[in-house]
Amino acid sequence: MRKTIFLILALLLFWQSSPAPSFAVESGTNTSETVQLRILETTDLHASLVNYDYYQTKVDNRIGLIKTATLIKQARKEAENSLLFDNGDHLKGNPLGEYLVRVRGLHKGKIHPVYRAFNYLHYDAVTIGNHEFNYGLSFIKSALKGLKMPYVNANVYSIKTQKPYFKPYVMLKRKVVDESGTAHPIKIGVIGFMPTQIMKWDKANLEGKVITKPIVDSAKEFVPQMKAQGADIIIALAHTGISNAPYHQDTEHAVFYLTKIPGIDAILAGHAHSIFPGPTYNHLPNTDLELGLINGKPVVMAGSFGSRLGIIDLKLKKVAGKWRVLQSSSTTWAIADENGNSLVKTDKALYKRIKGDHQETVEFIKKLGL
């Protein structure tokens, strides 16, 4: 009898000290549904396709997409899942861009060399910067036909239709591979913005044709729609800079306030030609420069002219059937050191595709005696 009582007590003590059974595992939940997603950014290229300074007619290894392209390929190799975006101001800003429009012209059926480069590098989507309007609406509409990927902007509206002039956002349906090697479908919402000041800067080209709406107001309008349409994560291609100056409807640098909008998971910044994360933003509140976070959201700004590649790394996990961002960080990679010494090789295949346009521009400059 004593042995029986002792055995019962021993079993009770063992049961109480044992961990509770994992009902989640028993019900078939896959605990390995964790995905690493890498988001890559170029911004403010200003037609800098080649590592060449047209003004001084010499090589400059601190600029050029043919250098950034090598970093893009390297970053992709390191990541099982990646996306590549451009954040605007890519068609105008150097003699190559001017020559193609003012002298040679973009003939019907021809693809602008910047967009030829984007097609070659398989960008997932692009947004439009303020300088894309410098040549007029008809030019940008014609040039955009050469893109093989979506382009988005949510805060420029047609006066005639009272609707967004461009597609405000796009849903990218992709397959991502988790840490166990299993593929999962994911829907990635991508939305674009630009400064409202285009109505002043390009008044002659835009007045009477389009209007702009505030960046943050536009985000608050469309982000809920994107979530309602099933966006698992949302990436903002924000051709706007970073400042915590009090927000108003014509705020030119609105990224700080975009980070406060629920539903946006990552922000690609630009326009300011600055570097984030970087020391310029040491005094920005609620900012983690080690992880590249503002108000807890990952942000990256990759300088200008192809000098850097912006990278945001997200760790996603599927929870109750929905993808959640568990961790995030951002950084930028440079194509040259502080002294202008190249850190990467030239992407020869890309150079081959745009070499003719580059050489035409150089020859034209020589003829002018510049």
Task: Report CA dihedral (127, 250, 332, 184) to the nearest 10 degrees.
Answer: -50
Q: What is the pLDDT of residue 4?
A: 45
How many angstroms separate the CA atoms of 276 and 289, rounded?
8
Contact call for residues 39 and 235 (beta carbons, < 8 A): yes
- Beta bridge mates, 332: 310
- Go through the chain and tell me how many residues it has: 370
> Domain limits of the chain?
32-368
For domain 32-368, which architecture applies? Answer: 4-Layer Sandwich (3.60)
In a structure prediction context, what are the per-residue pLDDT tens digits for the chain, which is 370 residues long?
Answer: 444 444 444 444 433 444 333 333 333 344 468 999 999 999 999 999 999 999 999 999 999 999 999 999 999 999 999 999 999 999 999 999 999 888 888 777 789 999 999 999 999 999 999 999 999 999 999 999 999 999 999 999 999 999 999 999 999 999 999 999 999 999 999 999 999 999 999 999 999 999 999 999 999 999 999 999 999 999 999 999 999 999 999 999 999 999 999 999 999 999 999 999 999 999 999 999 999 999 999 999 999 999 999 999 999 999 888 999 999 999 999 999 999 999 999 999 999 999 999 999 999 999 887 6
Q: What is the pLDDT of residue 207?
A: 97
CB-based contacts of 88, cutoff 8 Å, min separation 6: 43, 44, 126, 127, 128, 129, 130, 131, 132, 192, 194, 237, 239, 270, 271
- Beta bridge mates, 233: 188
Q: What is the pLDDT of residue 370?
A: 62
Q: Is 280 left (phi over 0), alpha (psi -120 to 50) or beta?
A: alpha
Q: What is the pLDDT of residue 2?
A: 46
Instruction: Classify 49 as helix, strand or coil.
Output: coil
The residue among 214, 171, 210 whose CA lies nearest residue 194 is: 214
Q: Write phi, then psi, for 316 (nearest 5 degrees).
A: -110, 150
Contact call for residues 43 and 60 (beta carbons, < 8 A): no
The residue among 222, 321, 11 whose CA lies nearest residue 238 is: 222
Question: Any idea which residue has 């509140």 for tokens?
Answer: 285
Task: Report CA dihedral (152, 154, 159, 163) to the nearest 10 degrees.
Answer: 90
Q: What is the pLDDT of residue 80?
A: 95
Q: Which tokens sit at 204?
A: 């002659």
Q: What is the DSSP string of 84-138?
A: EEE-S--S-SSHHHHIIIIII---TTPPPHHHHHHHHHT-SEEE--GGGGTT-HH
Q: What is the radius of gyration, based on Cα positions, of the chain? A: 25
* pTM of this prediction exceeds 0.75: yes
